[in-house]
Amino acid sequence: GSGSSSSSAEPPLFPDIVELNVGGQVYVTRRCTVVSVPDSLLWRMFTQQQPQELARDSKGRFFLDRDGFLFRYILDYLRDLQLVLPDYFPERSRLQREAEYFELPELVR
């Protein structure tokens, strides 16, 4: 076909803005944010795999079966590579477990 610049052999790429459903909580962020820590789980998911290989929810959002409440701190960390927690934060050990799952060694420390 003339005038068609897209090739059917090329795999679909991830959008610049990604919608994540983490344990029922929806997060919308930039792809560059989720891949900001090389070799982390999210980095591998969004650079080494194709979009169609990842789990999706019924609305087409990328689905992660993790704690949706704690993921906000994971995402915060990915934005500027610093962790800021509220003064009273009783779930440090659970957040540490999430950091281990997402393979973020600096955050685990």
What tens digit of pLDDT does each residue of 47-61 get? 999 999 999 999 999
Question: Which domains are seen in the chain, by residue range?
Answer: 17-102 (3.30.710.10)
Q: Is the model's pTM score more than 0.95?
A: no
Residues of the chain with pLDDT under 50: 4, 7
Q: Which residues have C-beta within 8 Å of that of residue 44, sequence separation ≥ 6?
A: none
Measured between alpha carbons, how far is residue 55 from residues 62, 63, 107 in Å? 6, 5, 25
In the numeric block, the tokens 């944010």 are attached to 33
Residue 13 has what pLDDT? Answer: 87
Query: In terms of C-beta distances under 8 Å and separation of at least 24 residues, what long-range contacts does 96-100 make, across chains too?
Result: 98/66, 98/67, 98/70, 98/71, 98/73, 98/74, 99/74
Size (the chain), residues: 109
Element (H or E) spanning 93, and its range?
Answer: helix 92-101
Q: Which of 26, 7, 5 is nearest to 17 (CA)?
A: 26
